[in-house]
Amino acid sequence: MNKGSIGNGESGRGTGDASRLRAMVSSIRPGIVVAVLVTLAALMLTSALLEYRSSRRDLEALMRRQAHTLLESLLISSTNALRANDQLEAEIRQRLLDNASAIRDLYDAGRASNSVLAEWAAAHDLHRVRIEMPDGRWKYASYERVPEHDTLTTPRPDLSPIFRGETDTLVIGLRQARFENGFRYGVALGARDRSAIVVNLDADYLIAFRQQVGFGPLLRNMAMNPGIVYIAVQDEDGFLAAAGDADSLDSFSADSFLADAAADSLIVPHDRFLKVGGTDVFEVVHPFFYRGSPVGLLRLGMSLQPLDALNARLIRRSAMMGLALLAIGFVLLVLIVARQNANLLERQNVALETYSGQIIEHVGDGIIVVDNGGIVTTANEAALSLVGLTRETVVDRPIEDVLAGDACANFLSGSAFRDQVECDLPSGHRNLLIARSRFDDEHGATNTVLILRDLTRLLELEAQVRQRERMEALGTMASGLAHEIRNPLNAIGTVVQQLRTDFTPIADGDDYKELTTLVYSEVRRINEAIEGFLRMARPAPSRPQPFVLADLLDSVRREYEPMLLERTIKLTIDSDFGGEVSWDQQQIRQVLMNLIQNSVDAMTDAKLEGGSIRISTSALEFDEIEIDVTDSGPGIPEAIQRRIFDLYFTTKAQGTGIGLSLVHRIVQEHGGTISVESAAGSGTTFRIRLPRYVR
Per residue in 398-409, pLDDT tens?
Answer: 877 777 777 777
Q: What is the pLDDT of residue 573?
A: 93
Our count of domains for the chain comes to 4
Residue at a domain's end among 537, 565, 596: 537
Residue with the larger pLDDT of the pair 634 and 217: 634
Number of H helices, E strands in the chain: 19, 22
Q: What is the pLDDT of residue 318?
A: 67
Indicate the Cα dihedral angle 483, 489, 495, 501, nearest 10°: -120
Evaluate if residue 204 carries a pLDDT over 50. Answer: yes
Question: Are residues 643 and 565 part of one domain?
Answer: yes
Terminal CA-CA length for the chain: 69
Evaluate if residue 79 carries a pLDDT over 50. Answer: yes
Question: Are residues 568 and 686 part of one domain?
Answer: yes
**pLDDT band for position 302 (cuts 50, 70, 90):** confident
Question: Are residues 674 and 566 part of one domain?
Answer: yes
Digit-coded pLDDT (tens) for 93-124: 898 899 999 999 999 888 999 999 999 988 88
- In a domain, residue 290? The reply is no
Three-class DSSP category at 504: coil
Cα 153 to the center of its chain, rounded Å: 47
Residue at a domain's end among 170, 186, 209: 209
What is the amino acid identity at position 110?
G
Give the separation between CA 130 and CA 200, rounded to whole angstroms: 9
Q: Which of 639, 432, 663, 375 is nearest to 532 (CA)?
A: 663
Strand order in the sheet with 624-631: 570-575, 612-619, 624-631, 684-691, 673-678
**pLDDT band for position 449 (cuts 50, 70, 90):** confident
Residue with the larger pLDDT of the pair 383 and 562: 562
DSSP class per residue in 550-590: HHHHHHHHHHHHHHHHHTT-EEEEEES---EEEE-HHHHHH
Digit-coded pLDDT (tens) for 555-605: 999 999 888 988 899 999 998 998 999 999 999 999 999 999 989 988 888
Question: Are residues 482 and 390 part of one domain?
Answer: no
Q: For the domain that residue 419 is a member of, what is the CATH number?
A: 3.30.450.20
Question: Are residues 474 and 403 part of one domain?
Answer: no
Residue with the larger pLDDT of the pair 356 and 513: 513
Question: Are residues 552 and 661 part of one domain?
Answer: yes
What is the amino acid identity at position 525?
R
- In a domain, residue 377? The reply is yes
When mean pLDDT is compared across 17-21, 264-268, 281-285, the lowest value belongs to 17-21
Q: What is the pLDDT of residue 351?
A: 56
What per-residue string of b and e applies to 523-556 under the rule 16 or more CB within 10 Å gives b?
beeebebbebbbebbeeeebebeeeebeebbeeb
Residue at a domain's end among 185, 209, 233: 209
Q: What is the pLDDT of residue 299?
A: 86
Give the separation between CA 86 and CA 93, rounded to whole angstroms: 10
Strand 376-379 to 169-176 pairing: unpaired
Evaluate if residue 531 carries a pLDDT over 50. Answer: yes
Give the separation between CA 409 and CA 403, rounded to whole angstroms: 8
Q: How large is the angle between the packed helices 204-213 and 30-108, nearest 10 degrees?
A: 160
Give the separation between CA 222 and CA 231, rounded to whole angstroms: 8
DSSP class per residue in 340-384: HHHHHHHHHHHHHHHHHHHHHHT-SSEEEEE-TTSBEEEE-HHHH
Residue with the larger pLDDT of the pair 73 and 52: 73
Evaluate if residue 51 carries a pLDDT over 90. Answer: no
Strand order in the sheet with 446-454: 376-379, 366-370, 446-454, 428-440, 418-425
Domain that residue 625 falls in:
545-691
- pTM, full prediction: 0.37
Q: Which of 516, 83, 553 is nearest to 290 (CA)?
A: 83
Alpha carbon distances (Å) from 344 to 55, 311, 326, 379, 584? 9, 10, 21, 27, 66
Evaluate if residue 7 carries a pLDDT over 50. Answer: no
Strand order in the sheet with 279-290: 238-244, 228-235, 293-303, 279-290, 270-276
**pLDDT band for position 439 (cuts 50, 70, 90):** confident
Please give the angle made by the CA atoms of 623, 624 and 628, to the nearest 5 degrees. 150
Q: What is the pLDDT of residue 326?
A: 61
Q: What is the mean pLDDT of residues 385-393?
A: 74
Q: What is the pLDDT of residue 16?
A: 53
